[in-house]
């Protein structure tokens, strides 16, 4: 089986950087990146700058994915992508069946999987995907699992905190892996569920977890349309609710999930901000003395009385954040607002001057595992931070790509 990749919602290429870092066998045959309402497509231009000579990028690579005919997408063995967390509910359309009311990008993934049927899928999303929406916990993830099940896929998932496995950012992300029933790997679903979640699954064989008991695993059968074994997406959208844990599998409509913890057998101590900071930075990154009071307020704990639109009085509370950030720990989760004066923005004591300053774009790239100056491709300075706030930790992808490489080797 060829080791070919189709990359959706590619951003500045985090998945591709991770895969190519793991092994030179991987070939990206097509990629799509399009940012709505943006006159200049900075992320796509960054991607093209680094990969144009080696890609199968064509005219559709910078087009709204919903406007790309599936017959224009090459065949591939792995579909990857980091899609947004949205509302994935559906509605009835009478004799025409159902359609997605929201979560448009997920339905584009489903459309491509239905037409291209790649053997393997690797997706990334925020950790709160497992609990959304708040009014019907677990519904959105249930819809995703049901869609993959109906397309003939066995599914595993894991919420991974990169720092817990030795990397430089406390970034928690939900990773979803699916194998089609046409693959040899698909029979893994017939194995003992505990062994899959403990050590023999896609994620557990890559990222070790501490032992747990059979009794700790929760199970749930998803409803099927009688007499078919196809899951009823509309019924799930209207009625499904379930407390998903951070690890799990879904096979033939049966969900098994358990809370796992890293087994703390990390060979090397985690990388810290100290390992990543530059020793000579431009003055533009230093905090001005006039802003100190504002920064102290934003970072500090607070209890503020507020009044809602209905006249109800309540107390808004926020806990204090370290100010400055400790450089002896991995970075906090980086957000798209990193370039602004914001409570979540990192502030560090410079290694040379000891003065307080912001992170540089290069430091943000290193926090996500990208090569230095990866986004220095002509995009605005602030947008470099935005891209890194949207990116994933490529070191996690590298390890997952190695596991997937071994799986595909056995397919032949």
Q: Which residues contact 21 (CB under 8 A, 6 or more apart)?
A: 394, 398, 401
Residue 370 main-chain phi, psi, to 5 deg? -85, 155
Distance CA 79, CA 23 (A): 17
Distance CA 31, CA 9 (A): 8
Question: Helix crossing, 139-150 with 104-116: angle to 10°?
Answer: 10
Active-site option among 6, 23, 46, 85 = 85
Q: Is there a cis peptide before residue 324, judged by omega within 30 degrees of 0?
A: yes
Q: Choose among 26, 116, 104, 9: nearest CA to 73.
A: 116
What number of other Cβ atoms are within 10 A of residue 291's Cβ?
A: 12
* 3-state class percentages of the chain: helix first, strand second, coil last, to nearest 5: 35, 20, 45
CA torsion, ordered 204, 207, 211, 212, to nearest 10 deg:
-60
Q: Choose among 166, 242, 156: nearest CA to 199.
A: 156
Q: What angle do CA 19, 23, 29 make, to 5 degrees?
A: 55
85 annotated active-site: yes
- Report, as residue numbers or ranges, the catalytic residues: 85
């Amino acid at each position: 089986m060829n080791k070919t990749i189709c990359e959706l919602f590619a951003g500045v290429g985090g998945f591709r950087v991770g895969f190519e870092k793991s092994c030179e066998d991987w070939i990206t045959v097509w990629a799509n990146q399009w940012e709505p309402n943006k006159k200049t497509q900075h992320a796509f231009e960054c991607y093209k700058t680094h990969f144009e000579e080696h890609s199968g990028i064509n005219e559709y690579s910078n087009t709204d994915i919903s406007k790309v005919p599936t017959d224009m997408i090459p065949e591939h063995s792995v579909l990857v992508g980091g899609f947004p967390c949205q509302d994935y509910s559906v509605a009835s359309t009478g004799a025409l069946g159902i359609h997605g009311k929201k979560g448009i990008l997920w339905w584009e993934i489903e459309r491509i999987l239905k037409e291209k049927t790649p053997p393997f899928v690797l997706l990334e999303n925020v950790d709160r995907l497992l609990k959304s929406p708040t009014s019907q916990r677990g519904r959105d993830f249930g819809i995703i699992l049901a869609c993959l099940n109906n397309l003939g896929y066995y599914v595993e998932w894991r919420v991974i905190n990169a720092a817990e496995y030795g990397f430089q950012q406390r970034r928690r992300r939900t990773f979803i892996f699916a194998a089609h029933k046409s693959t040899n790997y698909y029979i893994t679903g017939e194995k003992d569920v505990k062994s899959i979640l403990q050590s023999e699954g896609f994620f557990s064989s890559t990222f070790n977890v501490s032992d747990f008991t059979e009794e700790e695993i929760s199970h749930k059968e998803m409803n099927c349309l009688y007499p078919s074994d196809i899951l009823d997406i509309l019924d799930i959208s209207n009625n499904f609710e379930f407390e998903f844990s951070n690890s799990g599998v879904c096979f033939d409509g049966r969900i098994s999930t358990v809370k796992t913890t890293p087994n703390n057998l990390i060979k090397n101590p985690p990388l810290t901000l100290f390992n990543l900071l530059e020793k000579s930075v431009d003055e533009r990154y230093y905090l001005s003395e006039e802003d100190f009071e504002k920064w102290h307020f934003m970072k500090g704990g607070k209890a503020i009385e507020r009044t809602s639109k209905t006249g109800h009085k309540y107390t808004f509370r926020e806990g204090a954040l370290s100010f400055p950030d400790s450089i002896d720990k991995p970075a906090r989760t980086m957000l798209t607002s990193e370039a602004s004066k914001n409570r979540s923005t990192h502030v560090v004591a410079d290694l040379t001057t000891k003065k307080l300053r912001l992170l540089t774009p290069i430091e943000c790239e290193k926090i996500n595992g990208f090569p230095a100056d990866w986004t220095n491709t002509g995009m605005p300075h602030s947008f470099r931070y935005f891209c890194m706030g949207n990116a994933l930790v490529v070191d996690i992808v590298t390890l997952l790509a190695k596991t997937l490489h071994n799986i595909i080797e056995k397919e032949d």
